[in-house]
Structure 1
Amino acid sequence: MFHSGLVYLTEDASHDAVIELINEEAFGPGRHTRAAARIREQGPHDRSLSFICTDNGETIASVRMTPVLAGAVQGHLLGPLAVRPSHKNRGIGRELVRIAIEAARRKGSEGVILIGDPPYYMPLGFEKVAYQALDFPGPVDPNRVLVVPLVGDVHDRLKGVIAWRDASPVEAADAADGSKRYASA
């Protein structure tokens, strides 16, 4: 579906307050106690892989990516993904996920991991992670742990603890394509 006013941009610090508001609207105050939030608290997300969507200049959605070491996989944790209620069910979240995955692939990520709803994410290329293969810093439903493998042997190496990792400056330089605006598919 074509939306003439929608623009997808790389997140920057000026978006922090509105992203926090959108996440609060979407997930409420309990969002900070979830296992994925505990990983995100360990270190900063990667702004170069985090995106917003604006509609005629108003920020209406966002997705963030956090660098993680998941077993032996140097990947990224996707989330939170949030869309303002007024803009839900228009494909905006799916497009943000597509953009984030492609950016992670260009940056050399080995896989994009999330805790999410399989019927929503599996059509976007996510696959189930082996049952209880990853040890999160809090309770998770193992049936909701998903990955988009970006290299061939990801499933074999997704075993063990998942935690924030420091993304090296070399890794950041490798992905720089100079583009900050993303075309919708």
Structure 2
Amino acid sequence: MELAYTLPEVSPALLITAETAGDVPAREALLDRAMGPGRKRKSSEKLRRGRRPAEGLAFAVKEETGLLVGTVRLWNVSLGEGGSEALLLGPLAVDPSLKNAGLGSALMRHAIQEAARLGHRAILLVGDAPYYARFGFSADKTGQLSMPGPYERHRFLALELVDGALDGEHGTLRPTGRKAKAERLSLAA
């Protein structure tokens, strides 16, 4: 099912679509522009490296011309050794020329809605608490959880899509998503 709809609250010329393999170079260039060279050293990257995004949860925003101007992806993780499954959101990025136009908010609302529709129970992220609070994220449920590697605890946030989904969860997040290399090999066969 091809997902594509306009963002009239931002601009009728922008579309959120499911990310495709052809979007990867443009997405990487956008992430470099929006986040800078240190983006690959972040703790969240350790959970994404070598993995594919969660099925159906990688989105691109494109202008009518096809230019990619926004991206967000969600990733499968477990909450500690043998813990429940959850999603890790990130990175969320918007072309710097479109900052403060509402595009990031539209991407967040869409990602949360799709994750809930697909039956996921919780989303975690590392980010700016005041920005993500408007979508329901807080540090209230992450006290017994941790990220691999260094991170700022007050920026480790969660949103329960199902009430109580994070109750009693503890430990360090672990990647559980599909491995990228295995998928490439199976496609080549």
User: For this structure pair, what is the TM-score category when the shorter chain's length is used for normalisation?
Assistant: 0.7 to 0.9
RMSD value, Cα: 1.6
Question: Is contact 1:53–1:59 with CA below 8 Å preserved after alignment?
Answer: yes
Q: Structure 1 residues 83 and 29 mapped into 2: Cα distance closer, same or farther (>3 Å)?
A: same
Q: Structure 1 residues 150 and 131 mapped into 2: Cα distance closer, same or farther (>3 Å)?
A: closer
In 2: Cα distance, 1:137 partner to 1:85 partner: 29
Q: Please list, as runs of the form range in 1=range in 2, the aligned pairs for 1:51-66 lying within 5 A after superposition.
A: 51-56=59-64, 57-66=66-75
Question: Is contact 1:12–1:47 with CA below 8 Å preserved after alignment?
Answer: no
Counterpart of 1:67 (choices 63, 76, 81) is: 76
Aligned amino acid, residue 68 of structure 1: V
Q: Structure 1 residues 131 and 46 mapped into 2: Cα distance closer, same or farther (>3 Å)?
A: closer
The structure where helix makes up a greater share of residues is 1
Aligned amino acid, residue 90 of structure 1: A
Please name the residue that 1:115 is paired with: 126
Q: Structure 1 residues 60 and 47 mapped into 2: Cα distance closer, same or farther (>3 Å)?
A: farther
Aligned amino acid, residue 163 of structure 1: R
Please name the residue that 1:76 is paired with: 87
Please name the residue that 1:94 is paired with: 105
Q: Structure 1 residues 130 and 151 mapped into 2: Cα distance closer, same or farther (>3 Å)?
A: closer
Unaligned runs of 5+ in 1: 168-185
The offset of 1:103, in angstroms, is: 0.9
Aligned amino acid, residue 69 of structure 1: S
Counterpart of 2:58 (choices 26, 50, 54) is: 50
In 2: Cα distance, 1:161 partner to 1:133 partner: 9
Please name the residue that 2:6 is paired with: none
Structure 1 stretch 65-74 or stretch 11-20: which is displaced more? 65-74
| TM-score, structure 1 as length reference | 0.84
Q: Percent identity?
A: 33
Question: Is contact 1:73–1:110 with CA below 8 Å preserved after alignment?
Answer: no
Unaligned runs of 5+ in 2: 1-8, 179-189
The offset of 1:130, in angstroms, is: 4.2
In 1: Cα distance, 2:57 partner to 2:168 partner: 23
Please name the residue that 2:183 is paired with: none
Please name the residue that 1:158 is paired with: 169
In 1: Cα distance, 2:90 partner to 2:98 partner: 18
Q: Deviations over 1:64-106 (max 9, x none)?
A: 1111112333111100000011111011011111111111111
| TM-score, structure 2 as length reference | 0.82
Please name the residue that 1:28 is paired with: 36
The offset of 1:42, in angstroms, is: 4.7
